[in-house]
Structure 1
Amino acid sequence: MSADAAAVVRKLAKRPLLSRLFASGRQPLKLVAVPRDHVQGERQRGEAILAGRFVLGNESVSLTDLDFAHLGVDSPIGRELQGFSWLRDLAAAASREKGARVAEALAGRWLLSHGTRVDDAWRPDLWGERILYWMAYAPYILSSRDAGYRSALLNTMVRGARHLDANAEKALPGLPRITAWAGSVAAGMLIQGGVSRVARGESGLARALSTAQFEDGGLISRTPYEQVRLVDRLQLLRATYSAAKQSLPESIEAAIAAALAALHGVTMGDGALSSWQGGNPGDAARLHALVEGCGIRARPLRQARGWGYHRMSALGTVLVIDAAPPPPAKMAPRGCASTLAFELSDGAQRLVVNCGGPAPLPTSLPEELTEALRSTAAHSTLVLSDTNSTAILTDGSLGKGVEDVSVDRSEDNDCSRLEATHDGYARAFGLVHKRSLMLGNDGKELRGADQMLPKGRRKIKDAAPYAIRFHLAPGVEPTLTADGMGAILRSPGAPPWNFRCRGANLGIEESLVIDGRGQPVPTTHLVIQGEVAAIGGDVAWQFRRSS
């Protein structure tokens, strides 16, 4: 054990501190079993932890003198460290003996900062996550020969489990409450004497899932990066049942399968996420490791009536469309006005994307830019009169706009078709936006049309300007054709694609996207611009692979 770790353990072993840590004064209980986390961690991040740095996105903190109390739980990097999910990455880079020296020193510091009192770090969702990972990586945090340290950690875990029993239902609705109840169930399964809390925990988890998850498996927050974490939490809970030699309830098994199918539905050809609700592609390798480690298989969800992200695919061409209203504010306080936007990829090459956002990574982007990334203009869809399809208010919340989205989908021997209409512009302009998409079964052609159709009593007096944007992935180089009605899209990872439009003017303008590290990357976008009268109008366009 390093001198640093030994100093922490000696301090923990002092009787006054241990007396405070032992809520009941009894000897610590034991874990009945240790679940196996089947998801492979990220070795590079683990090696950074061994070297004394914790890295998240474009930020890092030194672990040499880390003070968990000063770190807090409000920042992304603080939440990640407090939840202990990094134990997975440490285990990928170090043997049990080597990794335990680092893990026990950090766990000891957490106990010194938070083990003696209930504070922000005892938030129910953080305790749920912490218990899931402490149990899965118990060999890394409970290998010390110091009985005082082991007793402090185990008894604090017991207190955390009791805290969850009383407070899991108070966690925020959605993923936080699911995580809290998952931790409560896991504690009941594997902490000696906790069997009595399992039934109550399972009941709480069932309630949390029913209020946070659509029937099709997607979260009501409609946030892909949260969907990743949902699948992760449930697969860790599944491993807990396996370790305890207990049968997983059918409802939880079904929830995992449905959640995984919904997650598959928003991945692109490169295996990373499409960018919705302020998120970005993330890390394809990390996502692949999670999917492989789940232990179950699920086909991508194609017709997501609740989750809202419809998927069309043909011979390597993938299209993901947002065909639903924005999520409710209580589930996604930073929701986006992205209805009827889409992303398109050819194999591993992304072609059309949304600008995305930095979540859940730390960011140094100006607040003005992060707010702009939530706008309709930051997504590959139509914008009428430079107005968001759903209003983004000055306090950051979503206001009035899209309330109803109708979807009609069909398949035949030649192509897949989707028609979707939203009412986001009906109240202000007396027009609804209808987007029609047709993907050929050979994957070589995507035909689209954007129509603005009159609806309701309100009419625009003269005409309103509109813009239809197609944000291009970094590395995709557009060249306008001589007639100004098309563009050739060249990229390093796919054959050239030809774009054509009719009914309006085409231009190329600068844009940016947020990459998987949460950083802005300059790119360009195609823009079709024109004006529409009160009687409506339409624009047809086409993407076609040249070979």
Structure 2
Amino acid sequence: MMSAEYAKSGSQPRRSAEEDAELWARFTGKAGEEATASPIHRLKIAGSAPDGFGLYPRPAAPPDELRGESLMRDIWRIGMAKVEMPGGRPPWSEPLPSRHFTDRVHRFDWLGDLFTQGDAGADRARYLVDDWIENFGRFNGFAWRAGCTADRVWNWMLCGPGLFEHGPEEAVQHRLEVFGRQVRHVDALHEDCSEPAARWRIAAVMAAHAICVRRGKGLDEAFERLDNECTAQILPDGGHVSRSPARGLRTMLDLCVLKDLTERSERPVPEFMLRWIERLGGMIGFFRAGDGALPPFNDSQESLPETVDAALSRLQAPPRRFTVAPKSGFHKLQKGETCLILDAGNAPEEPFGDGAHAGALGFELHDAEARLITSCGYSPEVDIDWQAAVRRTGAHSTLIIANEDSAPFRRNEDTGLVFPVGPEGISAKRLEEADEIWLDAQHGGYKKTFGLLHRRRLFMSGDGRRLTGEDSLARPVSQGTADSDRTIPYVVRFHLHPTVTATMGDTAIRLESESGSVWRFKTSHEAARLEKTIYLARGIVEQSWQIVLSGRANPDSDGSTPPNAVRWAFLKDRPA
């Protein structure tokens, strides 16, 4: 993985414009292609400015005041890249570090953060919107891509009172005109859009627009479109079909905005909206870690705890507690202050797997508010090549054979992106007895290539102070005898959270969490070592460590003994 290179250098390499364009095209697919506007399309999006808003949507999530303060200091930061714009100049007034950076700027996710900075922040926000309109308001192939435009329109609507109720009448009218053009643009693109996140946000925009601007006209059609997207993108247990906790959170927050808007317009809230909010809330409660944030499964990051709290506060009652999410494919083991969540589900089908990871049987392990074991994580803020690298199996706390992914990646011809397939035969069984939990999981992702099944067995003690595990590789009887007796290399990885301090000892690896609690990692395996790795889920590329157990498997083993069986344990020495 290129993470090792970063861990040594500690900095992000510079790229030429040509290299950046090539990376952007490779990792964003058709969603990254510039929008085009035929004469017919231009006629569709032409029209007069809306009369104004009868009602404004209200944000369901709190703004990021720290980012607002940074923007007022003229600092624009996306992932590892930082741009300073003295005098409050717009970021698009000069070349930006990458297309990824430019994309994040054009989505205006930062707009609400500026409005937290008093009158000066509101003036700066309006100035930047007006300057954007001056430069991009008619049309721009990059800035007017479907997903980028839908996000920008949504963010403008959430800041509507500050944008459309203040300033010279001519400026307000100009903002309304460009707002209306963008709404018509995404509405025309929705039917042919293959990007799930863009389809969702367009449906949300059109429902809000029908209430706020059209005074209810077209609302039935907008709600029908939203209902269809809910059915397509939310699983019956409340998980997002992408298997990303952060996407589920974003979906719930959008529905909460629309529910509040519908109620304030004195209209009945559709039953489907209430049902899906409750189910999404249940899964967010399932995933919520002791520190209040979410785990970085698939293309998910550590969302701000305040955002998670804001979503859960919208529920009529606290979310019900459960330990198995069968449709989403996650199992939860929790005793005392120790919590483990295991990924035991198939990768989503296309196009919903375009951001999914090949992390079968990987897990998150937390001790109260402290995170111990994780993956390399993910963040939409870090550059796209990093996002792609951490999708591989080696970036997860699981077993990998010969550096091959447990779920091979295939190309989606409709989106131009790759998605993981499988793995075959993934399953998990649990047994709870005498306050103790056993979990027995396996997958056949390596059966076709190497003739081996990966089995992971976990045991958590009743007080949560002991987690023992075994990773084994077994040849199914149905495979017959292997053609060769050549051994097969494998590695078991446990990625440590950046807040964990790891120290090699003679008989164990000492792990100290940020809360001060101390754990020991022990194994009967002879080749345990610590190696550098990276972590993305806090919005930057951070250095961290991983525990690595490597070996060579017998191709004809039943998996009951070494070298095909690796036993290990996490033992809590003392509380914080």
Which range moved further: 181-190 or 147-156? 147-156
Alignment partner, residue 391 of structure 2: 374
Structure 2 counterparts to residues 465-476 of structure 1, below 5 A: 465-476=489-500
Distance (Å, rounded) in 2 between the aligned partners of 1:477 and 1:73: 33
Report the alpha carbon displacement of residue 340 of structure 1 after superposing the two structures with TM. 0.2
Once the two structures are superposed, what CA deviation does each residue of 1:43-87 show, in whole Å capped at 9, x if it has no partner? 111122233333333334456332759889994443333333323
Deviation at 1:336, TM superposition (A): 2.2
Query: 1:128·1:184 contact (CA, 8 Å) conserved in 2?
Result: no
Show the counterpart of 1:499.
521
| Structure 1 residue 174 corresponds to structure 2 residue 199 | no
Of residues 78-87 and 292-301 in structure 1, the stretch that sits farther from structure 2 once superposed is: 292-301
Q: Please provide the CA RMSD for this pair.
A: 3.2
1:78 aligns with 2:102: yes
| Residue number in structure 2 paired with 1:243 | 264
The aligned counterpart of 1:354 is: 375
What's the counterpart of residue 458 of structure 2?
437
| Paired AA for residue 107 in structure 2 | G
Could you say what secondary structure the match of 1:546 adopts?
strand
Q: Scaled by the length of structure 1, what TM-score is found?
A: 0.84
AA partner of residue 91 (structure 1): F
Opposite residue 377 of structure 1, the aligned amino acid is: G
| 8 Å CA contact 2:193, 2:199 repeated in 1 | yes
Distance 1:354 1:101 in 2: 41
1:9 aligned residue: none
Q: Is the 8 A contact 2:76 2:84 kept in 1?
A: yes
User: Cα offset for 1:525?
Assistant: 1.4
Evaluate the alpha carbon distance shift between residue 91 and residue 277 of structure 1 in structure 2; reply closer, same or farther with a 3 A threshold.
same
Corresponding residue to 2:168 among 139, 146, 154: 146
Q: Which residue of 2 aligns with 1:16?
A: none
In the alignment, what sits opposite 1:158?
180
Matched residue SS, 1:542: strand
Name the residue aligned to 1:8: none
Aligned to 1:15: none
User: What are the residue-to-residue correspondences of 1:88-167 with 2, within 5 Å?
Assistant: 88-94=112-118, 97-117=119-139, 119-167=141-189
SS at match of 1:92: coil
Flag the 1:107–1:143 CA change in 2: closer, same or farther, 3 A: same
Counterpart of 1:228?
Answer: 249
Instruction: Look up the match of 2:80.
Output: 58
Matches of 2:297 and 2:407 in 1, distance apart? 15
Structure 1 counterpart SS, 2:341:
strand
Rate the CA distance shift 1:423–1:351 in 2: closer, same or farther, 3 A: same
The aligned residue for residue 35 of structure 1 is 57
**2:147 and 2:265 mapped to 1: Cα distance?**
23
Identify the structure with bigger relative contact order (alpha carbons < 8 Å, sequence gap 6+): 2
Decide whether the 8 Å contact of 1:87 with 1:103 is kept in 2: yes
Equivalent residues in 2 for 1:198-237 (5 A)?
Answer: 198-237=219-258
Moved more, 312-321 or 471-480: 471-480
Please tell me whether the aligned partners of residues 342 and 352 of structure 1 are also in contact (alpha carbons under 8 angstroms): yes
Q: After superposition, what is the alpha-carbon deviation per residue over 1:359-410, rounded to whole angstroms, capped at 9, x for unaligned?
A: 301339xx4x665533222211112233321234799835666133122233
- Return the letter of the residue paired with 1:382: L
Alpha-carbon distance, 1:334 to partner? 4.4
Deviation at 1:213, TM superposition (A): 1.9
1:157 shift after superposition? 2.7
The aligned counterpart of 1:389 is 406
Task: Name the SS of the counterpart of 1:318 in structure 2.
Answer: strand
8 Å Cα contact 1:473/1:513 also seen in 2: no
2:230 counterpart SS class: helix
Tell me how far 1:289 sits from its aligned partner.
4.8
What TM-score results when the alignment is normalised by the length of structure 2? 0.80
Query: Quick one: distance in 1 between partners of 2:458 and 2:226?
Result: 39
Amino acid across the alignment from 1:388: D
Aligned length in residues? 517
Residue 424 of structure 1: SS of its match in structure 2?
coil
Secondary structure of 1:196's aligned partner: coil
Aligned-partner SS, 2:326: coil
Aligned amino acid, residue 225 of structure 2: G
**Cα distance between partner residues in 2 of 1:407 and 1:506:** 28
Determine if contact 2:342/2:361 at 8 Å carries over to the other structure: yes
The answer on whether the counterparts of 2:331 and 2:344 sit within 8 Å (CA) in structure 1 is: yes
Distance 1:480 1:112, change over 3 A: closer
Q: Extract unaligned runs of 5+ from structure 1.
A: 1-19
Between the two proteins, what is the percent identity of the paired residues? 24
Letter in 2 for 1:269: G
Contact 1:471–1:511 (8 Å) recurs in 2: no
8 Å Cα contact 2:377/2:535 also seen in 1: yes
2:571 to 540, 544, 547: 544
Residue 48, structure 1, aligned to residue 70, structure 2: yes
Q: CA deviation at 1:319?
A: 0.8
- Could you say what secondary structure the match of 1:397 adopts? strand
After superposition, give the CA deviation of every residue in 1:77-134 in whole Å (9 maximum; x if it has no partner).
433333333232123332xx43331121122122223332374434443443334332
Give the counterpart letter for 1:181 in structure 2. Answer: A
Describe how 1:300-339 pairs up with structure 2 within 5 A. Answer: 302-339=323-360
Shift of 1:223: 2.6
Residues 162 and 376 of structure 1: is their aligned pair in 2 closer, same or farther, counting only changes over 3 Å? closer
Q: Deviations over 1:170-197 (max 9, x none)?
A: 3334222111101000000110x35221
Partner in structure 2 of residue 464 of structure 1: 488
1:372/1:149 CA distance change after superposition, 3 Å: closer
- The more displaced of 72-81 and 320-329 is 72-81
CA contact (8 A) 2:347 2:420 kept: no
Q: Look up the SS of the partner of 1:195 in the other structure.
A: coil
- Tell me, in whole angstroms, the C-alpha distance in 2 between the residues paired with 1:337 and 1:21: 42
Which residue of 343, 346, 351 maps to 2:364? 343
| Matching residue's letter, 1:48 | S
SS in 2 for 1:207: helix
